[in-house]
């Protein structure tokens, strides 16, 4: 029982990181109908930005408060990664918006390869570790076998951050003028433009918001694992996209729910079965769910426009 509870905590933590990345996928897809395959590498880039600024703050500037350093790192990473997201949309995606449907997809793959190789050249191919940021844990209870079920402070930070950001961005999409513009662009971009909505600005802001969420996920990933590599964008990116599809792409709560499910499947499969097949288990569950629920768990079925 104690092992089950511990793996449940670990799965929720990993799923929270996937959920943060998945929100960025689902926001972009919901508006322009394009899968931004460079989003995973934006996440990886943000993790490197967080690593560099954390080392600058703690080693060079001598800031001893980890909480203060993390807050500064989070703000700086969100700002710089958002700038990257804006530049990628302006340079790689906007010129191809009216082209055939595969053109933006090919451009997204090209941006992904560029970011991965850029970070490899700039930072090297080796894993980049960081000193432990948060080490304290809370022992919840001790099992009969002497196994301690623990909840670390970094796990609490990750799960609370995901819940807070999901609430904020759900409110942003549902209750603000930007959210109304996003939903209008999702339904019909031409009609939204005729009604006075600045479609280009709305799409750019969506990319900026998605990149900011990816930067939070990158910081949380670095906080949790303490190491990052230039090729850490592909696999988490694919799994986050899988989470977005599983939960119902276009739904923010669905993206987080899908991330939590993927994280729990991976964690429990690794604990009770062969760790080599954890990815097979996750994608098998995705296939089974989509057979019976093609729109995902919380997704809305597409209505044919006539």
Confidence at residue 149, expressed as pLDDT on a 0 to 100 scale:
84
Q: What is the pLDDT of residues 7-56, one digit of tens each?
A: 999 999 999 999 999 998 888 887 777 778 899 999 999 999 999 999 99
Confidence at residue 261, expressed as pLDDT on a 0 to 100 scale:
93
Largest CA distance in the chain: 68
Q: What is the mean pLDDT of residues 256-281?
A: 89
Three-class SS string for the chain?
A: CHHHHHHHHHHHHHHHHHHHHHHHHHHHHHHHCCCCCCHHHHHHHHHHHHHHHHHHHHHHCCCCCHHHHHHHHHHHHHHHHHHHHHHHHHHHHHHHCCCCCHHHHHHHHHHHHHHHHHHHHHHCCCCEECCCCCCCEEEEEECCCCCEEEEEHHHHHHHHHHHHHHHHHHHHHHHCHHHHHHHHHHHCHHHHHHCCCCHHHHHHHHHHHHHHHHHHHHHHHHHHHCEECCCCCHHHHHHHHHHHHHHCCCCHHHHHHHHHHHHHHHHHHHHHCCHHHHHHHHHHHHHHHHHHCCCCCCCCCCCCCC
Confidence at residue 286, expressed as pLDDT on a 0 to 100 scale:
84
Which CATH code fits 1-292? 1.10.3470
Confidence at residue 96, expressed as pLDDT on a 0 to 100 scale:
85
How many Cβ atoms are within 10 Å of 10's Cβ, its own excluded? 21
Contacts with 19 (C-beta within 8 Å, 6 or more apart), sequence order: 162, 166, 240, 243, 255, 256, 257, 258, 259, 260
Cα separations in angstroms, 80 against 7, 12, 50: 34, 28, 10
Residue 217 has pLDDT above 90, yes or no: yes
Using 50, 70 and 90 to split pLDDT, how confident is the model at 301? low
Q: What is the pLDDT of residues 167-182, one digit of tens each?
A: 998 898 888 998 899 8
Q: What is the mean pLDDT of residues 187-212?
A: 90
Residue 143 has pLDDT above 80, yes or no: no
Nearest to 119 by CA among 40, 61, 25: 40
| Whole-number average pLDDT of the chain | 87
Residue 219 has pLDDT above 60, yes or no: yes
Residue 283 has pLDDT above 80, yes or no: yes
Phi first, then psi, for residue 127 (nearest 5°) are -65, 140
Q: What is the pLDDT of residues 73-122, one digit of tens each?
A: 999 999 999 999 999 999 988 888 777 778 888 898 999 999 999 999 99
| Domain locations in the chain as residue ranges | 1-292
Residue 304 has pLDDT above 70, yes or no: no
The percent of residues above 90 in pLDDT, for the chain, comes to: 40
How many Cβ atoms are within 10 Å of 160's Cβ, its own excluded? 11
């Amino acid at each position: 029982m104690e092992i089950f509870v511990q793996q449940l905590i670990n799965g929720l933590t990993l799923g929270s990181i996937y959920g943060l990345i998945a929100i960025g996928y689902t926001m972009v897809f919901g508006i322009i109908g394009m899968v931004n395959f460079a989003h995973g590498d934006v996440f990886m880039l943000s993790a490197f930005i967080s690593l560099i600024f954390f080392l600058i703050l703690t080693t060079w500037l001598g800031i001893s408060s980890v909480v203060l350093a993390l807050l500064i790192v989070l703000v700086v990473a969100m700002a710089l990664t958002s700038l990257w997201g804006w530049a990628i949309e302006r340079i790689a995606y906007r010129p191809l918006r009216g082209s055939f449907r595969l053109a933006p997809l090919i451009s997204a793959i090209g941006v992904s390869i560029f970011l991965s190789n850029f970070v490899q050249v700039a930072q090297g191919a080796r894993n980049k570790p960081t000193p432990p940021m948060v080490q304290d844990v809370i022992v919840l209870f001790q099992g009969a076998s002497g196994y301690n079920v623990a909840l670390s402070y970094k796990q609490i930070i990750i799960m609370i951050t995901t819940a807070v950001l999901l609430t904020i961005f759900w409110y942003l999409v549902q209750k603000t003028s930007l959210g109304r513009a996003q939903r209008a662009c999702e339904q019909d971009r031409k009609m939204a433009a005729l009604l006075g909505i600045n479609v280009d600005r709305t799409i750019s802001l969506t990319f900026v918001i998605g990149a900011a969420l990816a930067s939070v996920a990158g910081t949380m990933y670095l906080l949790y694992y303490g190491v990052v590599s230039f090729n850490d964008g592909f696999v988490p990116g694919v799994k986050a996209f899988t989470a977005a599809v599983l939960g119902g792409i276009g739904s923010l709560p669905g993206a987080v729910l899908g991330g939590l499910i993927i994280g729990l499947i991976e964690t429990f499969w690794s604990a009770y079965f062969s760790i080599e097949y954890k990815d097979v288990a996750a994608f098998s569950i995705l296939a089974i769910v989509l057979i019976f629920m093609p729109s995902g768990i919380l997704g809305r079925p597409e209505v044919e426009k006539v």
